[in-house]
Amino acid sequence: DAAPPVRPTVSAPLVSQPPAFPTATATATASGEVTPTTAAPSPTPTRTRTRAPSAAVPATETASRLDLLDRTNALRAQSGCAPLRTDPRLTRVAQNDARAVAAGGTVDPPGGRTGDVGERVTAAGYSWTSVGEAAAYGDKDAAAVAREWAEDHMRQLLVDCRYTDVGVGLVVSGDRRAWTEVLAGSG
């Protein structure tokens, strides 16, 4: 079965605080279930915080995110733009947006997302002067998403040299993938 075409969307600004990093780790299974794990108990009982289930990302998803970012930066280089730097606040927004897109099964606004991207980036603690978002649903790999974005109106967003930072989100659900890139500039 062929995946449905990518349907990109462009949104406006948002921000939030970076997550606290707990002393525990989490392990994700192929199905996306996350199991918190902690070190052996110490002689004195201590309370540990665990990461939210979304904190653990399977290696293949991490590689896919990096692949999409590499392809975006290659497109930007062709237009004379500097490569985007990954920002954890934008990554958090992008991952949450990818979850919402996957849950809604569409990138059409709001696609399960609340507010506009500028509000979400601001709530994440990022002070921006320019912000935008690319989203895709249904594609199997980063190459297909990057190719589709490069061939439509999303290209204009991705090669805007005002953007300096990025967060990439990916949620895999069965044979469907929800992708987001949240781009922002602060200068």
d(CA 74, CA 136): 19
Per residue in 146-173, pLDDT (tens digit) is 999 999 989 999 999 999 999 999 999 8
- pLDDT at residue number 159: 97
- Whether residue 92 lies inside any domain: the answer is yes
pLDDT of residue 105: 83
Q: Is residue 14 part of a domain?
A: no
Q: Is 104 a member of any domain?
A: yes
pLDDT for 94-138, tens place per residue? 999 999 999 888 877 655 566 799 999 999 999 999 999 999 998
CA distance 168 to 131: 14
Interior angle at CA 29, CA 26 and CA 33, nearest 5: 75
23 domain residue, yes or no = no
| Helices H / strands E in the chain, number of each | 5, 7
Question: In CATH, what number is assigned to the domain containing residue 132?
Answer: 3.40.33.10
Domain that holds residue 88: 58-185
Q: Could you report the per-residue pLDDT of 8-40, keeping only the tens digit for each? A: 444 433 333 333 333 233 333 344 444 343 333
Q: Is residue 158 part of a domain?
A: yes
Q: How many domains does the chain have?
A: 1
Structural domain includes residue 107 = yes
Q: Determine, yes or no, domain membership for 96.
A: yes
